[in-house]
């Protein structure tokens, strides 16, 4: 039975709709990763400035970046879901999961320690 799974999976991926779906997800992943990288870099830079000024509590800056990142990811997610023609529900769920994943990634990279 397993020997049929891989060829069937490869065949399904060759359908134009599935290629489009995969391309949309890959594009969204790239955008989400770029947003996380940009916010992380800016937050890190801000932390250096705060440290130089002797400010220990950077939780407001952290929360600001987290809120901004969340809004930007939501805007991108809405755009990608609206443009999806086939499998919109699957794309919506996948993109929602990706939003959570990249929000968690930002938190893991930058969460202040108390």
Q: Dihedral angle at the C-alpha atoms of 37, 38, 44, 47, nearest 10 degrees?
A: -150
List of the chain residues with pLDDT < 70: 1-18, 84-88, 114
Distance CA 69, CA 105 (A): 11
* DSSP-derived 3-state class of residue 16: helix
For 110, list phi and psi in degrees, rounded to 5.
Answer: -125, 0
**Measured CA distances, 108 to 16, 40, 42 (Å):** 36, 10, 16
Please state at what angle helix 59-83 crosses helix 16-53, rounded to 10 degrees: 170
End-to-end CA distance of the chain: 53
Task: Please state, in angstroms and rounded to a whole number, the distance separating the CA atoms of residues 32 and 41.
Answer: 14
* pLDDT tens-digit readout, 11-22: 445 545 567 778
pTM over 0.75: no
pLDDT score of 18: 66
| Residue 105 burial (C-beta neighbours within 10 Å; 0-12, 13-18, 19+) | middle
């Amino acid at each position: 039975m397993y020997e049929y799974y891989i060829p069937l999976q490869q065949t399904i991926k060759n359908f134009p709709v599935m290629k489009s779906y995969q391309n949309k997800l890959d594009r969204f992943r790239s955008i989400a990763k770029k947003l996380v990288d940009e916010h992380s870099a800016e937050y890190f830079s801000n932390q250096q400035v705060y440290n130089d000024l002797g400010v220990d509590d950077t939780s407001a800056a952290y929360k600001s970046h987290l809120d901004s990142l969340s809004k930007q990811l939501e805007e991108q997610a809405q755009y990608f879901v609206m443009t999806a023609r086939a499998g919109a529900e699957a794309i919506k769920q996948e993109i929602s999961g990706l939003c959570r994943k990249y929000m968690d990634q930002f938190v893991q990279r930058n969460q202040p320690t108390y």
